[in-house]
A and B are shown apart, each in its own frame.
Chain A
Amino acid sequence: MTARTLIPDLQRFARVGHTDRQGQITISPRQVYILPTRYGLLFAILVVVILIASINSASNLGFLTGFFLASIGLVSMVLTWWNLAGLRITPLSTEPVFAGNPAHFMLRLHNERKRSRPGIAMSTTSGTTASSVADVDASSDAALGMMLHAPRRGIFRPGRIRLSTDYPIGLFHAWCYLQTGQECIVFPSPAKGAPRLSSPDDSGVETGDSGRGADDFIGHRYYRDGDSLQHVDWKAAARERGLFCKLFGGDRADQLCLDWDALPDVGTEERLRLLSRAILDASDMRMDYSLKLPGKEIEPSRGKRHELQCLTALALFGLDDHE
């Protein structure tokens, strides 16, 4: 009957800490649960054995030892509970990840006491997740995080989060539940091979194509293997300034249209994975691209924000519970 075996049964009735209007959670003393650990039970047996032996040998110093240990156990129970009670928590926003990778949920713990709160661990309610353990110093903050495997694209919610501690001496385990409202956007994991869906668009773009055309000289860059020897700036090389490659650009760029309908019908998830790969590739090549999904269209653009927008659209495709 240790903490571990009882926790799942009790969870349904548990008190849970919710975020307040500032987006913070304060653990009230009544939200903290506490049970002895198996070391606590072993310790209790030890105390009882010492006391029985003392009764039998009428050894008062045996009594003293037994009662001293028992008192330390009782005091530690209060301190374990108090180590968690009153802690203030700010759930931090979560970085999106690709399906199959671990999502990283972070909390910031604020200790407003003049005493430190060591050994605070974070896990899911099943208690199986490995997490980091934080020692929150007196009147200061500490970050605490846990990694959860995100298996599917979509929105990943860790559900109730469990904060726990065994401090000070590990005889008792105190824990509490938090509903942090944290969620992590999980992009479809990119397919291995890129789809063939580029439909070059011949309309001109004002910014040009930044070095992919060959009409006008636009600047230098360091020589890379595979660059045409015709483009090496030999004059600069002769002046021993290093091997540079002259860049030329045209005023027209390739613009990709990543279109759901242009893909072969390989199933929704597979199509999303292909699109995910295509978005990453297009970003790598610094091309403009647009995304067309049934019922959603994103204008051509480029850059991190655009990429995030497109990948999020893929992640949420067909899911009703968002937006």
Chain B
Amino acid sequence: MNERLHDRPLSSPILITAIALMIASVIPHVWHIEISVLLFFLAMAGIRLFLRKPSQARIRKWLMLPLLVAGILIVYAEYRLPVGTKPGVAFLVTLFGLKILEVNKRRDIYVLTFIAFFTIATQFLFENGLLFTLYLMLVMTMLVWLLTTLNRSEPEKDMLINLRAVAGIVLPAIPVTIILFTLFPRLASPLWEITSHERIGVTGLSDSISLGTISQLSQSGATAFRVTFKSKIPEQQELYWRGPVLWESNGRDWTTGPLLEQTPTNYELVSDFIEYDVVMEASDQPWLFALDLPATLPDNTHLTRDFRLIADKPITDTLQYSITSGIDFINAEFSEDDVQRALQLPDRTTARVRDFARQLKQESAGNEAFINKVLAHFNRQPFIYTLRPPVLGDNPVDEFLFETRRGYCEHYATSFVTLARAAGIPARIVTGYQGGEYNPIGNYLRVRQSDAHAWAEVWLEQSGWVRVDPTAAVAPERVERELDTGAIESDGRLTFRVDDKGLLSRLGSQAKWLVDSVQLNWQRWVVNFDQQRQRNLLSLFGLDRLSRPLLMTIAILAATLLILLFTFFVMRLNREMPDPATRLYQRFSAKLSGIGLARHPNEGPLDYLQRIGSQRPDLREAAGTIIEQYIMIRYKEHDTKKQLQALARSVRQFSVR
């Protein structure tokens, strides 16, 4: 250890740089922990910068204890006990701030930098975006740069040149990182469960509908999931991503009721399967989304009798799954119990609603005719599709159908199901997502939170459960267009996708698609690089059947090999280079060694010339010129470039024959 270097006090440029980097490593936590904790951290950094004279070290020492108490009190006030991810991180940030306060010497920067590395690792508990990761990698690189300055004698002199030296560390580290990342064996399950694991992401679709409250429909453009189809992409109007199925209602709220855990048995697939991969963002909910009837299931999931795909645990991280669906099928799965549930009418359903349903039923020939009548009603009457419906009272279905007639998918779906049930047709609400934006660059479909949708399913004797989307029946001219959420297809159907007109907006879309495509690959190959994906990748090299310890050994060997390669590369590239004059002089001596007149290691140029002259008087003149030129360059600093050229010429022309 270079005790002396590390005992040196910190100069102001180094201190300021160090504190700036510490702040850079902590600051993204502004989205993750309480702001007061972060302000405390910034205050500590500020105090350290303000009291940076060596004479003020004592004041900082005195401040330490009261500030420690203050920091702990802040964490306690915000979180009570520091148990769990967020309070733990808050506590770490608090201690980090206090550590900045007591930094005095170069050695203290080490501990600080290591805490910063750890803090950066904690950032990934909350976020995993590409830009976010790149930013933190950059901060880590700069922290490495900070460490290099500590091991120089005069770090302030060439701070920028040292920045180039850091590239010499970080760039060779990248392939080693990739090798270790790819080959290191992944576990299917964690080593131990963290009991209070909570994680805040964008919360996905909920499993209930509450009419009459304010609009719950997500306006967020955040990605819900991305889908890559292995076969051809189905039509937009076939893309109904099924989520929670709502059976029970009190007239205002619709819920799933008890889960139908048994697996469905009684169904028949008619058309081909559709195979696709889904990369789903964290939702904090256990359900996955799939088209219609999932035929093959991802690991750790099960299918309920109402065809809901449920994971064993809530999705707290981005999740990737492969799945096969049948779009065209006959689903005859129906029990007596289900009939009762699918016909349950809330007590508060008004007589007006019941009468209206009964009237329509009498006018129609069958159940299908009834359904068409209801849809026609939505279409012909002045129903308006809007994302800002009026607030509804205790009987939202009644008020919507007969008074306000303004609403979005949830209003139409609940009203439709209520009418169907009142007419004696088993019906249920399905929530999920509809459609998705196709990304031609990445060849995948992106489904956003704003694509959230609710529709209905009714049970018909001949065909089983059939999807009905009452929202799509609303007359196109009565859709209140909001931002880019709603757009109307030429056939008058209401769909939810962006329309692209004009070159500029098309270029904009291209750029958007590209960015999103990069993000998908980031999610797929880095964030969600799990055991399965690792196995798939390794199978390309025939390494997929290796046991975990063997794979670990291979990972370490490969990294070692890369480091050896790097060592070899470094040795070749940075060889000691004698200056050109010496090299020319050596070549001159090499020519003479052919006739036994090599220069002795200790021989000065003039002595050498004398020896040459005495043994080969014929060479004296030529050798004399060379040695004179060599001495001029070596010992008298003249215009060496010209001299060098002259020396090179003389040596080239020199011949012992």
Contact = CB atoms under 8 A, between A and B. Distances in A.
Interface string B171-190: 01110110011001011001
B180 A60 contact: no
B490 interface: no
A305 interface: no
Contacts of B153: 118-119, 132-135
Contact of A165 (B2, B124, B602): B2
A84 B158 CA distance: 20
A17 to B, nearest CB: 15
B151 interface: yes
Contacts of A119: 2, 5, 151-153
B563 A170 contact: no
Contact of B114 (A42, A114, A134): A42
Contacts of A254: none
Among B5, B192, B530: residue with most chain A CB under 10 A: B5
Interface string A277-314: 00000000000000000000000000000000000000
Contact of A75 (B140, B563, B574): B563
B5 A115 contact: no
Contact of A71 (B111, B173, B186, B192): B173
B504 to A, nearest CB: 35
B118 A75 contact: no
Interface string B128-145: 100001001100100010
B577 interface: yes
Interface string B242-269: 0000000000000000000000000000
Contacts of B6: 170
A214 interface: no
Given A22-B602, A67-B184, A135-B154, A169 B173 contact: no
Given A82-B570, A119-B5, A65 B121 contact: yes
A168 B574 contact: no
Contacts of A134: 153
Nearest to B175: A71
Contacts of B136: 65
Report the contact-size class of chain A (Cβ under 8 Å from the partner): 35 or more
A67 B566 contact: no
B204 to A, nearest CB: 20
B79 interface: no
Interface string A136-171: 000100000000000000000000000011111110
A166 B5 contact: yes
A262 interface: no
A64 B577 contact: no
B4 A133 contact: yes
Given A64-B133, A65-B121, A3 B169 contact: no
A116 interface: yes
A197 interface: no
Given A79-B168, A118-B153, A71 B177 contact: yes
Nearest to A61: B124
A119 B148 CA distance: 10
A72 B154 contact: no
Given A56-B190, A119-B151, A74 B140 contact: no
B503 interface: no
Given A22-B602, A55-B191, A168-B151, A112 B4 contact: no
A61 B114 contact: no
B410 interface: no
A119 B194 CA distance: 45
B528 A60 contact: yes
Interface string B1-28: 1111110000000000000000000000
Interface in B524-548: 526-530
Given A20-B601, A60-B526, A67-B181, A133 B2 contact: yes
A252 interface: no
A131 to B, nearest CB: 7
B570 A114 contact: no
B147 A118 contact: no
Nearest to A46: B114
Contacts of B77: none
A169 B5 contact: no
B563 A74 contact: yes
B571 interface: yes
Interface in A192-234: none
A114 B577 contact: yes
Contacts of B186: 58
B563 A78 contact: yes
A236 interface: no
B191 A52 contact: yes
Contacts of A59: 124-125, 317
A181 to B, nearest CB: 15
Among B162, B170, B177: residue with most chain A CB under 10 A: B177
B42 to A, nearest CB: 23
A121 B180 contact: no
Contacts, number: 198
B536 to A, nearest CB: 15
B607 to A, nearest CB: 14
Given A68-B140, A86-B576, A56 B602 contact: no
B290 to A, nearest CB: 23
A55 B111 CA distance: 24
A208 to B, nearest CB: 43
Contacts of A65: 117, 120-121, 124, 136, 140
B165 interface: yes
B156 to A, nearest CB: 11
B110 interface: yes
Among B4, B5, B110, B153: residue with most chain A CB under 10 A: B153
A72 B181 contact: no
A133 to B, nearest CB: 4
Contacts of A38: 1
Contacts of B187: 55, 58
A272 to B, nearest CB: 36
Given A50-B121, A119-B151, A68 B172 contact: no
A64 B176 CA distance: 11
A130 B6 CA distance: 12
B372 interface: no
A66 B140 CA distance: 11
A28 B524 CA distance: 47
B150 A170 contact: yes
A169 B172 contact: no
A63 interface: yes
A69 to B, nearest CB: 6
B141 to A, nearest CB: 9
B17 to A, nearest CB: 15
A58 B530 contact: yes
Interface in A44-94: 46, 49-50, 52-72, 74-79, 82, 86, 88
B118 A78 contact: no
A113 interface: yes
A3 B317 CA distance: 43
B191 A115 contact: no
Nearest to B152: A118
Closest 8 pairs (CB-CB, A-B): A71-B176, A71-B173, A61-B124, A169-B147, A67-B180, A118-B152, A133-B153, A112-B576
12 contacts: A42-B114, A60-B526, A65-B121, A65-B124, A67-B176, A72-B169, A86-B575, A113-B577, A115-B168, A168-B144, A170-B110, A170-B147
Given A61-B526, A75-B169, 17 more contacts: A43-B114, A53-B121, A55-B190, A56-B191, A58-B190, A60-B128, A61-B527, A62-B124, A67-B176, A71-B177, A76-B169, A112-B579, A116-B165, A119-B2, A135-B152, A135-B153, A173-B2
Interface of B: 1-6, 110-111, 114, 117-118, 120-121, 124-125, 128, 133, 136-137, 140, 144, 147-148, 150-154, 157-158, 161-162, 165-166, 168-170, 172-174, 176-177, 180-181, 184, 186-187, 190-192, 194, 197, 317, 526-530, 559, 563, 566-567, 570-571, 574-579, 601-602
